[in-house]
Each structure stands twice: as structure tokens, then as C-alpha cells.
Structure 1
Amino acid sequence: MPDSKKVALIGTGGTIAAVGAGPFDLIDYDDNGHMLDVGELLAVLPALPDGVEVFTVALPPISSTGIYFEHWQKLVELCAELEASHPDLTGIVITHGTASMEETAYFLNLTLKTRVPVVMVGSQRPASALSSDAPLNLYNAIRVATMNEARGAGVLVVLNDEIHSARDVTKTSTYRLQTFRSPDFGVLGHCDADEVAFYRQPVRRHAPNTEFDLAQTRTLPSVGIAYSHTGSDGCVIRALTAAGMPGIVLAAFAPGCYSSAEAAALHDAVAKGVVVVISSRAGSGRVGDGIEIRRAGMIAADNLNPQKARLLLALALTKTSDIDEIRRMFQTY
């Protein structure tokens, strides 16, 4: 078929592949210990999108709460290998648990060097559940991976008929199907029955044209997150500093403020060479690059949430500890 499109489907596990004890097992399905491999998951679909060929690549299934740097390295390497070994490859879809999907997506958005579209997908309900969102989410992710508009858009996340940018999206609800949101800017597009429709493209720098190269990175520096709250005495910040963390992200009160005790602990951390980034616990909105933050030698996270600010800071620290240079990265990505 001359117009056929080829998509690689990488399976990492997650709710999308889970099989519960019955159709109403919507919470304790992991306890059942049964998970579909990626080939079995693909077979759940009654049909593939017209003109699309999908081949599967299985990785050991893992809870998304356990995914970290070594798994991200493997995904980056695997995507590069797939693109190199399949010159006719149209796109890549990665199944993933939703708990940490936004972090994997953003990390890949900062480090992938592949030029074909990469789409991440998961589900809120296991494949075995009544009204599971797994099959349609997977079907739509495959559709998006074949779109010309997806090429050059960075890593995308597809769930609930919506297309999100990896930089902007976050999980906002424990069980609801509409959990993934891009609070400040909204979706990139929709997956409807008649067509996949894109309406905007990400502007911030993203894969594959980034300065971060995992081929030159053996370990990821440890960066801790402290959370502002009334009565905070800065003990978490001091503990992270004492633990030798080279970087700390503060999930500050909106719009980027903190208690006097936290301020003292942050100033002490900076004096000891720790790079401090101020994010917000609000869930949306920018932390401004204001006088107080600059005067204290700290960096504003822009509108990155704490967990994404942590990843960008960790990658930045693989290249430099210069505050001005890291500040530039937060203004770029």
C-alpha cells in the first residue's frame, strides 16, 4: 500500500495495560497481577486507523511511580534505534502509566533526538474495565502519531480525545477521565471521529532541537522539592541542603512567595552553592522573575510546575551551575 504509514508502539505497562478482577475493578486492579503485553493491548483494538501499520516493541512493564532516569535513557535510545532501523517510520507511540506520565513526557521533550512524532498515551481505567478509556486513547494516539502537524511539535500526550504538549500538560484528578489538562494554554487539538484537528503549536524549545544530550549524561543530579505551607519553618529546605542536593525547587505560595523562615533556609542553601528554583504550588500561572528572587541569587520557574521544574533543573545541572545560564534555560524551555 503506497500510502501506508508505519507506527512503532512501545509498551511500558501502566493502567492502560492492566487487567482487573472484573469489569468494575477500577481501583485495585494492580493487585490482580495481570497485565497485557503490548501486542495483546494492540489486539484489543477492533481495527487500526486506515492505512496504518503498527508494530510493537515490548519493554518490561513497570509502575509509572517507579520510572526514572534509567528507563528514560532506554526510551531515548530505543526511539533513536527505531528511527534509524526503520527509514519509513512515521511515528512512535509510548504507552505509560498516568501517575508520572507528565514527567516522562517532559523529560523526553527535553532529550529526544528523533524527528518522527512521539506520542505518549495511557488510560484512567484498566483495559478490562467497563467503559475503559484504554482502547480509544490508544487508537487516537496512533492517529496523532501519523499526522503531519505532530511532526516538529515535540512530545505529545493524548488522552480523552485531546492532544496536549508535554511541557504544558499535568494530571489534575485521581480518577476522572478528563484528568489531563494544560492549565494555562489549553489543548493543541482534538481527536474526533471524523478527523484529528490541530489548532496551535508549542513555541518553547523542545525535542529534537535541544541542548541536552543523554549520550553525554551518565547520571542525573538529585534535585529535591520543598512545599510551602503556613507555619513552614524551612526544615525541609535545610534537610535537602544537608543531604547535598545540588538543586532545590520550592513549590512556593502563589505567585512565588514564601515564609521568612523559608527565606532564611533558601538564602543559606544558595550561600552553600545550591541552585534554587522558585515554582508555585498553585497549579498554573507564572512565577515572575522579580527583584527578590534575583537579589537572592535564585531562579524563577516561569510557569513550569514543581515536578517539571525539577527535571529541567536536573538536566541544566548536567551542563552548568552558572545561575544566569540556568535562568536562560528556564526562559527557553
Structure 2
Amino acid sequence: MMHARVQPETRRPRVAVIGTGGTFAMHGRHRFDWIEYADSGVIHPIDALLQSLGELAPDAEIVPVPFRSLGSVAIGPNDWLELARLIRDAAAADPSLTGFVVTHGTATLEETAWFLDLALSLDQPVVLTGAQRPANTDGSDAAANLRGAMAVASDPRSRGAGVLVVMGGAIFAARDVTKAASFELAAFEAPPYGPLGRVDADARVVYRRRMPDSEGASRARFRNVIDHAVALPRVDISMSYAGADGAAIRGFVQAGARGIVCAGLTPGRAASGERAALLEAVAAGVVVVQSTRSPRGLVPRQRFLAADGLLAGGDLSAQKLRIALMLLLAARDAQAAQDETRMNDEAIQACLLDL
């Protein structure tokens, strides 16, 4: 007598969804309110928004996790610290969670994603997504982006890949992604490397590029910063342009900047009028990193940088260099507090170029 084989029960993925506000949570005043929808003053909490969107991922259980609602132009380092701790603590409290999705405003989505990528050390996927149009307006991408993010967070191949961004059906590494357009639906890109993969129309996840290393030796320096940092050191970005005279750099130093990223002209050099201010900043103990305002720029180690005491920013964007430098300076402060060997500028340089 033959017996039917009993198939083992497959556990349904459980994905925590953390809402932080942004366009995703806002309410348009009319069906084509795609620009000034913030004027409605309505921001939906994540649990209410999930209920209004209906079934998005029938094969996954959605676990809403409350945070606070912010416009993406308002989010800052203290919010990043709290969000990272929330994700870390939720993962520790509920090991059955398959992954995390964070809904976020698109203006600073890439910065939050990069901070979380550096600060967190989780096996579970953390996926950020947002919307270019509010959920109640025509042509909104809110539900589709959340569906795609849920699929990526539920996929076993996403584990250990660090923080990912899913927008417009594309999967991006937090390191590479940037918002390249104000109002287009396909606003996110990753120059020059491109996306890691895509989410097909049937929610199938397709990876076409190797995942970045989220546990490299340099990244170990960022771990545990969220455990002890009350606030992150101030790091500012100075934008170079023809005729820039260094006034902004001097202002940042006067305001107490511990680090400055100079988003230089496309060759990776500051304007001539800024050099004196940069030298003054270095002499005052400020860590200065030379970057470029070019979207595909590269600033390697060079003699003129070393001679002036400036660090090379490699191919990271200025905004992502700022975040990495904030975390490195916080890690250095922690070392000093614990009487450990203090990280010098050369160690910071090596780390920045290794990310």
C-alpha cells in the first residue's frame, strides 16, 4: 500500500514594516496632486496606510512597527540612530522576523539607507522604499513599491546583503543608489554600477549582479556605534563652484564641524579660492575629505591632497562620505573614551576607500 508523501509545512515569511512618513504616507488633495501634496497636512500612520492599501503580499505576514512620521527633508542623524536601534531591537526581540521594510521619503532615502547599511549588522534583509506620488493619487507607485520591497525582504537570497533599496521595480545597493529626478516615477539610479536586480510584475525577485560585501573588515569599525553614541559628530558638506572663496568652509569650522566633505569640481579639486580655508580647517583639527560634485566622479589618493592634509573620498558621493565620516569619528571618540588606540587619519583614509 502506497502512502502519499506529506509535504513539510513552509513557514510564512514575517516582514516588519516600519513607516517613517514621506510621500508614501502623505495624502494628496486631489487626484493629480503630485507636487504640493504636503500642503494637505495629512500623514497617515503605517498601520492605517497598510489597511487602506489592501493585500500586497499574500505569501507574507506584514507586521507593522510604529516609528514617527517625518518629511524626508526633516530627517537627520538623531532619527537615524533611533531607527537603527529600533530595527536592531526588533530583530533581537522577534527572531522569527524574516526581514524589514522601511517606508521613507525619497529626498533623503539614499542617506538613511547608507547609514543603516553601515550601522547595522543583521542577517535579515533591511529594504527601504518610498513613493513619488501619494497613495491616494492617480498613478501612485506607493503600493507597487511596497509590494516589491516585501518580495525582496522575503527572499532568502537577500539575507546578509546589507541594506537594499527597491524603487520602480529595481533593486539597488544602499552604497550605490541615488535619487536622480524630482518627480519622475523612475527617479532612482545607481551610476555607474546599476541595480543589483529587479522585481518582476509577478513579484518574482531576480538578481543579476553580485551582492556587495556587508561584513568587510572596514565596515567592522562602524559596528556598535549605535550602542554608545548619544549624537553623531557634526560633519558638513561644502560645494565647490567657480569663484568659491571658502566662506562656507570657514563657517562650518566656526559652527563646530568635526569633519568637512568638500564636494569639489569634477576633477576632484576644490576651487582655488577655497584652498586657504581648507588648510585652516585641517590646522584646526577638522578631518577634511575631498570629494567631487560629479555623479560619476572619482577622487583617488594624490600627492597634492596628502601635502595639504586632505583625505581622498574615492567614488562615494559627498552625502555618503559625510555619513561614513560621522560614524568613523563617533567610533574614534568611543576608542578615546575607552583608552583604546585612537584611530588616526590614515586609518580613516583606508576605511573610506575600502567601503
Aligned partner of 1:317 in structure 2 is 329
Quote the offset at 1:318 in angstroms.
Answer: 1.3
Name the counterpart of 2:299. Answer: 287
In structure 2, which of residues 123, 129, 134 is the aligned counterpart of residue 121 of structure 1?
Answer: 129
Paired residue for 2:340?
none
- Please identify, of 199-208 and 62-71, the stretch whose mean Cα deviation from structure 2 is larger: 199-208
| Ranges in structure 1 where 5+ consecutive residues have no aligned partner | none
State the one-letter code of the partner of 1:210.
A
Task: Give the equivalent residue in structure 1 for 2:102.
Answer: 94
The yes-or-no answer on 1:330 pairing with 2:339 is no
Q: Distance in 1 between matches of 2:28 and 2:57?
A: 27
Q: How far 1:273 moved relative to its partner?
A: 1.1
Q: Which amino acid aligns with 2:298?
A: R
Distance in 1 between the 2:130 and 2:321 partners? 23
Q: Please state how far the C-alpha of 1:85 moved relative to its aligned partner.
A: 2.0
- Residues matched between the structures, number: 333
Quick check: 11-20 or 232-241, which moved more? 232-241
Tell me how far 1:27 sits from its aligned partner. 1.2
The TM-score with structure 1 as length reference comes to 0.95
Q: Aligned equivalents of 2:205 and 2:118: distance in 1?
A: 25
Residue of structure 2 equivalent to 1:196:
205
Q: Structure 1, residues 181-228: CA drift from partner, whole Å, max 9, x if none?
A: 101100011010242101123435459963222102122111111111
Cα distance, 1:276–1:81 mapped onto 2, change above 3 Å: same
Contact 2:98 2:124 in 1 (8 A): yes
Could you tell me which residue of structure 1 aligns to residue 230 of structure 2?
218
Decide which structure has the larger Cα Rg and report it: 2
Contact 1:109 1:206 in 2 (8 A): no
For 1:3 and 1:143, how far apart are their aligned partners in 2? 15
CA distance in 2, matches of 1:13, 1:171: 17
C-alpha distance in 1 between matches for 2:215 and 2:272: 36
Matched letter for residue 127 of structure 2 = V
Question: Counterpart in 2 of 1:159?
Answer: 167
Are the aligned partners of 1:93 and 1:145 in contact in 2 as well (CA < 8 Å)? yes
**Change beyond 3 A, Cα 1:248–1:167:** same
What is the deviation of 1:67?
1.1
- Letter of the structure 2 residue corresponding to residue 256 of structure 1: G
Query: Which sits farther off after the overlay, 140-149 or 191-200?
Result: 191-200
Paired residue for 2:6?
A: none
How many angstroms apart in 2 are the aligned matches of 1:164 and 1:197? 12
| Separation (CA, whole Å) in 1 of partners of 2:56 and 2:31 | 24
Describe the SS at the equivalent of 2:331. coil
SS at match of 2:172: strand
Amino acid at match of 1:79: I
Shift of 1:326: 0.6
Distance 1:207 1:45, change over 3 A: farther
Which residue pairs with 1:305 in the alignment? Answer: 317
What percentage of aligned pairs have identical amino acids?
Answer: 40
Matched-pair contact (CA < 8 Å) for 1:123–1:137 = yes
In structure 1, how many angstroms separate the alpha carbons of the residues matched to 2:271 and 2:42? 47
Contact persistence 2:292–2:299 (CA under 8 A): yes
1:89 positional shift: 1.0
Mapping for residues 245-264 of structure 1, pairs under 5 Å: 245-264=257-276
Q: By how many angstroms is 1:46 displaced?
A: 4.0
Report the Cα distance in structure 1 between the residues aligned to 2:353 and 2:241, rounded to whole angstroms.
27
User: Which runs of structure 2 are paired with 1:228-267 in the superposition (5 Å)?
Assistant: 228-267=240-279
What's the offset of the Cα at 1:291? 1.3
Do the aligned residues in 1 keep the contact of 2:160 with 2:214 (CA within 8 Å)? no
Q: Is the 8 A contact 2:221 2:331 kept in 1?
A: no
TM-score by length of 2: 0.90
Classify the secondary structure of the residue corresponding to 1:211. helix
Distance 1:207 1:132 in 2: 38
Could you report, residue by residue, the CA deviation over 1:129-172 in whole angstroms, capped at 9, with x for unpaired residues? 10100000001100000112211111001110000111111111
Structure 2's unaligned 5+ residue stretches are 1-8, 333-342
Q: Please state whether the residue corresponding to 1:316 is helix, strand or coil.
A: helix
The one-letter amino acid of 1:18's match is M
Instruction: Report if the CA contact (8 A) 1:155-1:207 is conserved.
Output: no
* Separation of aligned partners in 1, 2:283 and 2:93: 49
Distance 1:136 1:205 in 2: 27
Partner of 1:3: 11
Q: Which deviates the most, 86-95 or 232-241?
A: 232-241
8 Å contact kept, 1:11–1:94: yes
